[in-house]
Amino acid sequence: MMPLLAAAFALTALLYAAVGFGGGSTYSALLALAGFDYRLLPILALACNLVVVSGSSIRFARAGLTPWRGAALLTGVAAPAAFLGGLTPLKQEVFVGLLGSSLVLAGAALLIPLAARGEGEAPPAARWMPLLAAPIGYLAGLVGIGGGIFLAPLLHLTRWDNARAIAATAALFILINSVFGLAGQLIKNGGDRLGEAATLGLPLLIAVVIGGQVGSLLAVRLLPQTAIRWLTAALTIYVGARLLLKF
């Protein structure tokens, strides 16, 4: 079971890293389909998120691509909401339903064409994005995702900034929300869950490190972004649908 699950985690990390996301929702769904305790799912998924997006966040920052003022505003609004989401108690059936639905929506979001603005003033709709950051952050903490997969398409639709700046913002958004969501989950479920998750999740963390690095390489050198996004969307929708149908 564990070798197959680790391979699935590596593939998920590969695809998501190639399009600039962490993959937290799909990690949770894979664990749910494998029959693991649902209270461990967000902890493991958010830990894997941190592994996948921390490197990309640092690379974006070093390259000077992160629009710190706008990214800090969106993240600052979302992070407390992610913490509250992590603290919110959920029954298993509610958690699985929200997770499966978020996966299907996330997959659909990946199919939205990219259309970022060039130089000049941001359109009026872009100025309302901080209001949407809070519910995205809350959902992120609630089901163990970073939320960037929902934020990025909205930023593109509103032409909030150019494509690289949006990718950098999404990576930072996922990173910080994952930290705050994980803190909320650990307080809710107790510190003992962290040790249990670490013991169970070490092979999975190694798998996402490998998959994430390969995904970054593919994004830069080999596969076109459109093909990667379609593959990632197909995987996300398939796993979400499987989860909803199973439970």
pLDDT tens digit string along 38-91?
888 888 889 888 988 887 888 888 889 899 999 999 999 999 999 999 999 989
d(CA 63, CA 13): 23
Considering only the C-alpha atoms of the chain, give the largest distance between any 2 of them, rounded to a whole number of Å: 52
pLDDT of residue 218: 67
Residue 192 has pLDDT above 80, yes or no: no
Interval 180-188 mean pLDDT:
92
Q: State pLDDT tens for residues 102-133.
A: 889 888 887 877 655 555 556 676 788 899 99
Q: Kindly provide the b/e burial profile for residues 163-187, where b requires at least 16 CB atoms within 10 angstroms of the residue's own CB.
A: bebbbbbbbbbbbbbbbbbbbbbbe
Instruction: Return the top range by mean pLDDT from 10-24, 77-91, 184-198.
Output: 77-91
Residue type, 224: P
Residue 42's domain spans which residues? 2-246
What pLDDT is stored for residue 116 in this prediction? 55
Q: Is the pLDDT of residue 94 over 70?
A: yes
- Summarised one tens digit per residue, pLDDT across range 220-242 is 556 666 777 788 888 888 888 98
Selected residue with higher pLDDT from 74 and 145: 74
Token pair recorded at residue 72? 């800090």
Among residues 42, 37, 17, 27, the alpha carbon closest in space to that of 167 is found at: 17
Count of CB atoms situated within 10 Å of the CB of 51: 20
147 in Cβ contact with 81 (< 8 Å) = no
Q: Which element (helix H / strand E) includes 162?
A: none
Q: Which of 3-12, 66-75, 164-173, 183-192 has the lowest mean pLDDT?
A: 183-192
As a whole number of angstroms, the distance between CA 201 and CA 5 comes to 11
- How many angstroms separate the CA atoms of 137 and 135, rounded? 5
Question: How confident is the model at residue 183, as a pLDDT?
Answer: 93
Structure tokens at 202: 């070490």
Percent of the chain whose predicted confidence (pLDDT) is above 70? 91
If one counts the domains in the chain, the total is 1
